[in-house]
Every structure is written in structure tokens, then in C-alpha cells.
Chains A and B, each alone.
Chain A
Amino acid sequence: MRVDPVRGHPACDNALRRQLGNPFLVLELPAGATREQAERQGAKLLAMLSAGLAGAATYPTPLGPRERTDELVRAALAELRDTDRRLIHEWWARGLAGAEGHGDGEGAG
């Protein structure tokens, strides 16, 4: 019997992408990183991506490495510039970092 691959739940897939697109994960920053740290890291990653450096092409997540693109980095920076959104992302990132046992530096936005 020929069967199609099991269809996933599209809304859950979107939610997962949103979660794994957390700016702190994309930028590989601790949840307490300052705005300046985020901007510096973002600029560095964009430069690395435009140079085609392999190390910038993916970023680690609790579910394994994901692809990192220019758009994703820019979107992450934009999210962190909005303090209300940053607060929520920070909470998720802090929880995930605790789960993974990552470092979790503190700093004011």
C-alpha cells in the first residue's frame, strides 16, 4: 500500500517556527543581553552571512540546528527593539536556557 507521508498539524508547525525563531536563539544571545549587545551581534551575523561563512548559516535550538537567514536576523533585531515583545521573548528564552542549562547573563535593556 502506497501511503503519503503523515500530514503534520500546520498551525502547530507555525507555532513551532515562531518559538524556534526566538530572537535570543537566532542571535545566540543570553536572555538578559542588552540592546547594544543584540545590535552588535546582529551586525556581526549579517556580515558573516553576507560573506557566506558556514558558521553563521545555522543556529542551535533545543530541537537541533535551524537555518539562519538575513531575514531571520533582521526580524530578530526588530523584535528586540520592541520592549513589550522583547519581554515575552526573554521569558521564553530564559526558560529554554534553564532547560538546556545554558548561561543566562543579566543586563538592562
Chain B
Amino acid sequence: VSGVVGAVIIFIFIGRMVLEALGRTPQTAVKVPVWERIGRLLFYVGLFFGWLLLLAWLTAGAPEEVEAAVMLGPGLIGSVFALGWGPQWLAWRVLGPRGWVGTASFLLKMAIHRHAFDRVGAVALLRELYGTGSSGLDRVPVSAWTACALAARFERQGDPLRAGAQIAALRRLPGDARVSRGLRVYGIEPLAALAAARGDWWEVVRRTGLGRGRRVRRLDRLARTHLDQPPAVGLTAEESPWLRHLRLLDAAARGEPFEVREVLALAAAWEAPLAPAERARLHQRGLELGARDAAHAGETLLGRVLDELDLLLSAARGSWSAPGEGAVETELRRRYRERLFERLAEREPFFSTADGRPGLAPCDEWEEWVRFRADVDRLEALGGEEALHTAWRSGLSRAGSWAVYLHNRYEADAAWATYTMFVWTVEMARIVGDPNTEEIFSNNARIVREMSGVVL
């Protein structure tokens, strides 16, 4: 049995090498040197036969039936585990969290992955999560792994908002853009655990939604238990808007998580104290005090409240609810929409394929694009299709060139990202009714998909 299994391992490795040499597998950016392939083959053969030799030594002298049972049971089961899940399990669950990053990285390099992309991506994520030095993320092709590695990097830098944006982007990938099972099982759980450690339960639920496995489910249940309870911080509707305003500013100043809907609820709560009748009362009081500009005190006050609500929005996360009817909220939405248009205009240099365009590493290009897309999503949530039409006419129609540039410059290294971006461009063109762009970018998406279907 051991001979047969050993031969199968060798044939699988040789077969894959021959197929790749004959060009039968789709093109990937990750070039695996021959010595690394041979090393991996020796590692597995050594592991397999070493395990069997150990069992043979342990059962030496035992009755023949016992020896056969041990060799067929633990021998084969152990081999399957060692060859299949062992290295990854050891790397992610045992060695990485204990700081043995070098050994864990070695095991991940040796481990069986479906694609070379998964191997380099997994090593980059592990190093971002548990390492102290450079993870080499800048040199790794963009994939769901690198998006998670970026999220881990931002978590380490104390910027959970940007980390959350990466996870949110993964939740909105085209259906056929791949998030590998290894990432779902091993990569998502530590990221969800980081959000749980901060008590950011909404974010935990968002992250566990991408994951698989018992540990992920346990974190998800824990988060939902916390979310079912009333909030510990008193951001309740009974509080006055003054106090709620201070509490939200305090949360933002500390970097504690809060949602856009909480800011919008605060804006609604400001309606009554900032109503015209109240502002007239303020005017009256200003006259009593002898204020020079009493007539405009109400507007000054409203402007200050709006400025601070606007700041709170820039620190908030989550989706926008349907617009309310209050004047404060309406003005707040209008201001935010204007700011989004400005931010989209600032991204215009990325819509160019010219040589003078700012050039970044593939993962940094992806990070920029995730932020850009989040702004477009917010714009759609705020202004609906009408806002998208306006943005499209103002330059958003050229956003697809971003992916064209990435494809031309990085080819397969950025294929996962460019495919996602092309598909997004097609969806946008459909929404705003631009059949020409839709056709061009559908074709582009097809080309990238055929070229590097293996990573998608």
C-alpha cells in the first residue's frame, strides 16, 4: 500500500510539472522554480515514508494483524492528514500564532495548495498576521489572500476602518472571482478574532460571513450574542442630542467603532433643537446679550453642528439608510455627496493609461481601488442612480481604464483585481445605460478570465 501511495504522490507531482511545461494549465504570474518543486516532492515523499517507517519501528515485534491494522489505519489516515491538511493546520493553528513564522511559512510553501497564487498569498497573510518584518506583500500577485493581508496590515497599524474596507470588498466580488477554501478556513478567522478583541461585533459578523469552519462559526455566534444585548455605551434614543453628539465624538476620537446610521439618527435628533423657532429664540437671547451678529447665530450654530456631523460620518462605517425628511439630515447628505464627488474627481489620475500616471505595487493599486469603489457605493446609496449618472458623465466612465492600465502593466499578477474591476465597470455601464462601455469591458473581462481562469 505504501508503495502505491508513494508512487501516486510522485506521479501527481511529475504530471503537474509536465502539464505546466506543455502549457496545458492556464497562465499564472507565480513562477515556481524547479528546485522548489523537487524540494516539495522530496518533502512529501520523506514525510510519507518517514511516518510509515516510524510506525513500522513502533509496531516491531507485534503480531502481524496488529502491524497491518496500524499501517493501514493510522498509517494511511496519518499520511492523508500529513499530505493534505497537516502543514497548513500546523502553520495556521500552531506555529504562526506562537510566533514561529519562519517555520510556518516554510510549511505553507511546502503545503499542497490548489494554485501557486494561494501559496504565496497564504505566506504573505501569515507574515502580516504574525510576523514582525516585511511580508513581501508588494511583490505578491493580487488575490483575496493579499486583500486579507492588507486588512491584517491595517489592523496592525491600528486602522480597523481600512481593514474593514478590504473585507467589505471581498464580500462584493463577482460570483466567479475566487476566495479559496484555505483562506475561508484559516485566513478569515484570525481577522475576525482581531475585530472581536476590539469588541467590534458588527465587524466580526461581516468577517465571519466570509469564513468557514468551526472556529469561524463560534466567533459568529459570540458576536451575535453580543449584538442581541443592549449597547453598553449609552447611545440611546432617550439621550439628548448634545450628549449623544459628545459620546459619538468621543468614540471617534478613541477610534471606537460606530455606524453611519447612528450619525444619521443623531442628525434626526438635532432637528428639534435647531428648528427655526429655536433659532429665533437664540437670536432673541443674542439681542439680550448684546451680540453683534445675533441674527446669524442660528446659522453659525447649524453650520458647526453639521461640520461635526460630517466629521463623524468620515469616521463611521456601515451602509446608509433611506433618507429621512429632516432639514439637518438632508443638508448633511448633500454635503457628504458633494465631498464624494470631490473625492472621485481626485481619483482621476488613476483613470489614465498614460506613462505619467502614478504607478503603485499591485496590492497598493487594489487598496486605492477599494477606497474608490467604496466612495462610489456610498454615492449610490446617497444619491441613487441619478448621482451615478452625474458621476459617470463627470469622469467615472473612464474608471475602467484603471483596470486596463493594471492589466497592461502587471498582466497575470493583477488578473484577479483587473477581472473584478472590469466586471464592476460592466455593471456600472449597465446601470447608467452605456452599451458601448458595457461591450468593451465585457470583452476585457472575458479575456482576463480566459487568460488566468485558474486564479478566478
Q: Do A and B bind each other?
A: yes
- A2-B297 CB under 8 A given contacts A9-B314, A91-B282: no
In the docked arrangement, what's the CA distance between A6 and B156, Å? 9
Tell me the residues in window 91-106 of chain A with beta carbons closer than 8 Å to chain B beta carbons. 91-92, 95-96, 98-100
For A2, list chain B residues within 8 Å (CB).
132, 156
Cβ of A92 to closest chain B Cβ, rounded Å:
7
Render A52-88 as a binary contact track against B, CB cut-off 8 A, 1 for contact. Answer: 0000000000110000000000000000000110111
The residue that A1 contacts in the complex, of B156, B245, B308, with Cβ under 8 A, is B156
- A96-B243 CB under 8 A given contacts A8-B254, A12-B315, A86-B289: yes
Cβ of B287 to closest chain A Cβ, rounded Å:
10
For B239, list chain A residues within 8 Å (CB).
99
In the docked arrangement, what's the CA distance between A98 and B308, Å? 21
A4 interface residue per 8 A CB criterion: yes
Tell whether, in the assembled complex, residue B242 and residue A95 are in contact, meaning their CB atoms are under 8 Å apart: yes
For A63, list chain B residues within 8 Å (CB).
246-247, 250
Tell whether, in the assembled complex, residue A6 and residue B290 are in contact, meaning their CB atoms are under 8 Å apart: no
Tell whether, in the assembled complex, residue B297 and residue A88 are in contact, meaning their CB atoms are under 8 Å apart: yes
Tell whether, in the assembled complex, residue A3 and residue B194 are in contact, meaning their CB atoms are under 8 Å apart: yes
Cβ of A105 to closest chain B Cβ, rounded Å:
14
B136 interface residue per 8 A CB criterion: no
B301 interface residue per 8 A CB criterion: yes
B249 interface residue per 8 A CB criterion: yes
In the docked arrangement, what's the CA distance between A7 and B288, Å? 44
Q: State how many residues of chain A have any CB contact under 8 Å with chain B.
A: 33
For A86, list chain B residues within 8 Å (CB).
289, 291
Tell whether, in the assembled complex, residue A5 and residue B130 are in contact, meaning their CB atoms are under 8 Å apart: no
Cβ of A79 to closest chain B Cβ, rounded Å:
13
B253 interface residue per 8 A CB criterion: yes
For B152, list chain A residues within 8 Å (CB).
1
For B247, list chain A residues within 8 Å (CB).
63
**Which secondary structure dominates where chain B touches chain A?**
helix
In the docked arrangement, what's the CA distance between A88 and B289, Å? 11
Tell me the residues in window 202-241 of chain B with beta carbons closer than 8 Å to chain A beta carbons. 239-241
B311 interface residue per 8 A CB criterion: yes
Render B254-287 as a binary contact track against A, CB cut-off 8 A, 1 for contact. Answer: 1110000000000000000100000000100110
Cβ of A68 to closest chain B Cβ, rounded Å:
18
In the docked arrangement, what's the CA distance between A98 and B249, Å? 19
Tell whether, in the assembled complex, residue A84 and residue B293 are in contact, meaning their CB atoms are under 8 Å apart: yes
For B132, list chain A residues within 8 Å (CB).
2
The residue that A15 contacts in the complex, of B243, B249, B293, with Cβ under 8 A, is B249
Q: How many A-B residue pairs have CB under 8 A?
A: 118
In the docked arrangement, what's the CA distance between A84 and B243, Å? 23
Tell whether, in the assembled complex, residue B285 and residue A19 are in contact, meaning their CB atoms are under 8 Å apart: no
B182 interface residue per 8 A CB criterion: no
- A83-B289 CB under 8 A given contacts A1-B194, A5-B158, A88-B301: yes
B141 interface residue per 8 A CB criterion: no
In the docked arrangement, what's the CA distance between A19 and B239, Å? 17
A108 interface residue per 8 A CB criterion: yes
For B158, list chain A residues within 8 Å (CB).
3-7
Tell whether, in the assembled complex, residue A15 and residue B282 are in contact, meaning their CB atoms are under 8 Å apart: no
Chain A residue at minimal CB-CB distance from B131 = A1
B368 interface residue per 8 A CB criterion: no
For B198, list chain A residues within 8 Å (CB).
6
Most chain A CB within a 10 A radius of its CB, from B241, B297, B311: B311
In the docked arrangement, what's the CA distance between A20 and B243, Å? 11
For B245, list chain A residues within 8 Å (CB).
19
For B241, list chain A residues within 8 Å (CB).
95
B183 interface residue per 8 A CB criterion: no
In the docked arrangement, what's the CA distance between A86 and B289, Å? 9
Tell whether, in the assembled complex, residue B255 and residue A8 are in contact, meaning their CB atoms are under 8 Å apart: yes
For B129, list chain A residues within 8 Å (CB).
1
B171 interface residue per 8 A CB criterion: no
B159 interface residue per 8 A CB criterion: yes
Q: Please give the residue numbers on chain B whose beta carbons come within 8 Å of chain A beta carbons, in ascending order.
A: 129-130, 132, 152, 155-160, 190, 194, 198, 239-243, 245-247, 249-250, 252-256, 273, 282, 285-286, 288-294, 297, 300-301, 304, 307-308, 311-312, 314-315
Q: List 14 A-B contacts (CB under 8 A).
A: A1-B156, A5-B158, A8-B252, A9-B255, A9-B314, A11-B314, A15-B307, A16-B253, A63-B250, A83-B289, A84-B293, A86-B289, A90-B285, A98-B242
